[in-house]
Structure 1
Amino acid sequence: VLGLEALSRGASRCTFVEKDPVVARQIEENLRRFQRLDQSSILITDTFDVPAEIFITADIIFADPPFHHGMTQEFLTWIHSQVQPDSRLAIECEKDEVLNLDGFEVIRELKAGMDWLRLLRPTS
């Protein structure tokens, strides 16, 4: 949803990463319905298997890890070595979830439904 919203607000390109092929097809259908398929690519893979070159040109990385399964911290630790110094990371998480944000600065926190969206900038 965040990637489609970004495209509708002027993003030139968006790469969607989804492990579940059924959900990936739903993303593709939504992109086709909103005529954004030509601005998108969909990788059907585990996030941790995304090629590093994908992150080289990423201005903003939107992440919605399955935080109810404790994946948020694992993702943050992993993405820190992938993200470029001038990139931003928008990550959805539980409001009271305690995260080690070493290497990131919190730019902004927004309520997103029952969850929170944190906008982060890498610091080192």
Structure 2
Amino acid sequence: MTNRYETVFILTPVLSDDQAKEAVAKFKALLKDGNAKTHHEEDWGLRKLAYPIQKKSTGFYYLIEFESEGSLINDLELVFRRDERVLRFLTIKMEKHAVAYAEKKRSNKKPETAKA
């Protein structure tokens, strides 16, 4: 039985954009290898942290919403813990109301129009 999950992780700010993209690609590849179906992903970019973590005040935030077996979560979180580029991570199982809200929120977003 598959469940819907949402994971958010914060990467260390000392990474270049290419290094951050490589780290995200590593995590997405792990999900793909575990037969997870990715529904949505967002790069929130470099943001200020609410409190310092490892003497850092900013970090690269990234969100991935996916559907998979529960056993894949253990593997994903193990990789997060072992990767020194990850400052923090949080993975939650989404209830049906959370899934509906997330889909509604995404469908209400209007694409930005190009300014002339």
Shorter-chain TM-score range:
0.3 to 0.5
Judging by fraction of residues, say which structure has more strand.
Answer: 2
Where relative contact order (Cα < 8 A, 6+ residues apart) is larger, the structure is: 2
Structure (1 or 2) with the larger CA radius of gyration: 2
